[in-house]
């Protein structure tokens, strides 16, 4: 039995009012957050690449939040990235993207890793009209789907293979034949096909073009056949775990071309750490390198500032995958600020019309949404360090031949 009904009624009403006010405050706080969905392969064979993207996104979000967030129409919003692991399984990446948008109500999306998963998942964000930035997709097949809400930070594959072919062709070395070995996956196969075109365009004879299945754990048979052809140049594609294994088995089998190019593993320090001296004289190309020097807009501003922030956070130098992920965040940030609203269509239009420079380089997208403003560096590992050999504006050394044991 209540001893003082009036007093208790007042207490109940006060509690209800406080609960309502807390709910309003919580709702207001929730509205002050920009939520970005990020499906990534955080487990499975592609997990090294997924973790790299996560580091890049995390550094951007942490830095922009520490600076007060993203200003939208005079109001500041904190950034929240919602990660979901799709376990290196492309169909699951599509399902994850769907769930992030339809159930988790993210405002924007970062694409899954690589061209294959990005292409598969891009239809989801297009259907919902959600601006999506792909940080690791270069194949033109991803962008030639007529979609309007997908934007990518990697130039087409030919922008990597053509400079490589020119460099080798214009050297004094007698390089005439090329053997191509590609992982049967969208990006590795697409860039191998571009290499075939570039090689023929510059007068090289392509003596073989062979593919290996996803998950291959023994390349000895294919490499033995390749050795019999005695190619001057071997061009191998895949992801880091693939190419570490290929490089070691090439050495075991005595396959030693004058030029060895691998894309995309050698861009990562982990490749050098895993292969040791076998990494020396391996050439490659990527969409960004720490040697570039830009002074741009948005979070980080300069390349040097980004390098310092990354080193402070992770104790290492960033590679192109990490930098591209951070750049995806900066690009989204600039588009939101330019639009002055979180309206998806307005942000999409700001992305389509963007013409600026960031720490990553000049940012301008073509009609398909793929970036058209970058000149990707070509590099070679020398003395266990990746050094730029092209373009001249950031060149650190010359291409070396031989030494592939």
Q: If you search the block for the tokens 């998963």, which residue do you land on?
A: 117
* 6 inside domain: no
Residues 90 and 199 in one domain: no
* 21 inside domain: no
Q: Is the pLDDT of residue 11 over 60?
A: no
- Give the other-Cβ count within 10 Å of 179's Cβ: 24
Residues 329 and 270 in one domain: no
SS3 341: coil
Residues 277 and 295 in one domain: no
**pTM beyond 0.95, yes or no:** no
* 261 inside domain: yes
Residues 163 and 120 in one domain: no
Query: Considering just the CA atoms, what is the radius of gyration of the chain in Å?
Result: 24
- CATH code, domain with 257: 3.40.50.2300
Residues 232 and 263 in one domain: yes
* 279 inside domain: yes
User: Residues 233-270, buried b or exposed e (16+ Cβ, 10 A)?
Assistant: bbbbbbbbbbbbbbbebbeeeebebbbbbbbbbbbbbb
Q: What share of the chain is helix, strand, coil (3-state, %, to 5)?
A: 45, 20, 35
* 3 inside domain: no
pLDDT score for 369: 98
Residues 119 and 255 in one domain: no
pLDDT score for 31: 56
Quickly state the pLDDT bin for 404 (edges 50, 70, 90): confident
Residues 267 and 312 in one domain: no
Q: Mean pLDDT, to the nearest integer, of 111-115?
A: 96
Q: Mean pLDDT, to the nearest integer, of 281-293?
A: 94
pLDDT single digits (tens) 344-386 = 999 999 999 999 999 999 999 999 999 999 999 999 999 999 9
Tokens representing 305 are 């500032």
Bridge partner residues of 284 (DSSP)? 379
Q: Is the pLDDT of residue 229 over 80?
A: yes
* 220 inside domain: yes
Spell out the residues 6+ positions from residue 134 whose beta carbon is closer than 8 angstroms to its own: 110, 111, 118, 122, 142, 150, 151, 152, 153, 154, 328
Residues 231 and 198 in one domain: yes
Q: If you search the block for the tokens 């290196």, which residue do you land on?
A: 88
Quickly state the pLDDT bin for 403 (edges 50, 70, 90): confident
Q: Is the pLDDT of residue 16 over 80?
A: no
Residues 147 and 214 in one domain: no
Write phi, then psi, for 301 (nearest 5 degrees): 75, -75
* 369 inside domain: no
Distance linking the first and last C-alpha atoms of the chain: 91
Give the Cα separation of 283 and 75 in Å (integer).
47
Write phi, then psi, for 23 (nearest 5 degrees): -65, -40
Give the Cα separation of 370 and 279 in Å (integer).
31
pLDDT single digits (tens) 74-110 = 999 999 999 999 999 999 999 999 999 999 999 999 9
Quickly state the pLDDT bin for 315 (edges 50, 70, 90): very high
Given phi > 0 = left and psi -120 to 50 = alpha, else beta, which region is 68? left
Range of the structural domain that residue 115 is part of: 30-155+291-364
Q: Mean pLDDT, to the nearest integer, of 213-234?
A: 97
Residues 172 and 88 in one domain: no
Residues 147 and 219 in one domain: no
What does the mean pLDDT of the chain come to? Answer: 92
* 403 inside domain: no
Residues 170 and 231 in one domain: yes
Q: Measuring CA to CA, which residue among 265, 290, 247 is closest to residue 388? A: 290
Task: Count how many domains the chain has.
Answer: 2
Give the Cα separation of 189 and 183 in Å (integer).
6
pLDDT score for 10: 43
pLDDT single digits (tens) 135-180 = 999 999 999 999 999 999 999 999 999 999 999 999 999 999 999 9
pLDDT score for 131: 98
């Amino acid at each position: 039995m209540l001893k003082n009904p009036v007093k208790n009624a007042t207490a109940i009403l006060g509690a209800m009012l406080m609960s309502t006010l807390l709910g309003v405050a919580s709702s207001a706080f929730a509205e002050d957050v920009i939520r970005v969905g990020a499906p990534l392969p955080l487990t499975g064979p592609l997990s090294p690449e997924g973790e790299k993207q996560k580091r890049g996104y995390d550094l951007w979000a942490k830095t922009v939040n520490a600076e007060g967030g993203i200003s939208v129409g005079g109001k500041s919003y904190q950034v929240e990235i919602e990660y979901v692991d799709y376990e290196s399984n492309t169909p699951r990446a599509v399902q994850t993207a769907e769930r992030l948008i339809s159930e988790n109500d993210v405002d924007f999306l970062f694409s899954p890793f690589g061209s294959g998963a990005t292409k598969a998942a891009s239809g989801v964000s297009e259907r919902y009209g959600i601006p999506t930035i792909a940080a690791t997709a270069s194949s033109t097949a991803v962008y030639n789907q007529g979609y309007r809400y997908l934007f990518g930070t990697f130039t087409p594959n030919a922008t990597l293979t053509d400079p490589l072919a020119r460099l080798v062709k214009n050297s004094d070395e007698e390089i005439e034949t090329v053997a191509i070995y590609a992982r049967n996956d969208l990006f590795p196969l697409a860039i191998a096909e571009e290499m075939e075109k570039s090689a023929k365009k510059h007068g090289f004879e392509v003596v073989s073009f062979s593919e290996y299945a996803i998950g291959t754990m023994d390349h000895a048979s294919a490499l033995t056949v390749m050795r019999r052809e005695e190619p001057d140049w071997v061009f191998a594609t895949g992801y880091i775990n693939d190419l570490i294994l290929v490089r070691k088995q090439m050495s075991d089998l005595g396959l030693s071309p004058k030029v060895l190019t691998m894309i995309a593993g050698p861009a990562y320090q982990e490749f050098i750490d895993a292969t040791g001296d076998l990494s020396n004289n391996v050439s490659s190309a990527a969409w960004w390198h720490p040697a570039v020097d830009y002074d741009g807009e948005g979070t980080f501003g300069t390349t040097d500032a980004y390098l310092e922030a990354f080193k402070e956070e992770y104790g290492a130098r960033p590679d192109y995958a990490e930098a591209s992920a951070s750049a995806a965040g900066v690009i989204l940030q600039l588009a939101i600020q330019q639009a002055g609203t979180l309206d998806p269509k307005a942000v999409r239009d700001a992305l389509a019309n963007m013409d600026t420079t960031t720490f990553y380089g000049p940012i301008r997208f073509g009609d398909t949404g793929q970036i058209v403003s970058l000149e990707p560096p070509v590099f070679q590992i020398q003395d266990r360090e990746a050094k730029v050999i092209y373009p001249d504006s950031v060149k650190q050394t010359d291409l070396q031949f031989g030494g592939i044991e």
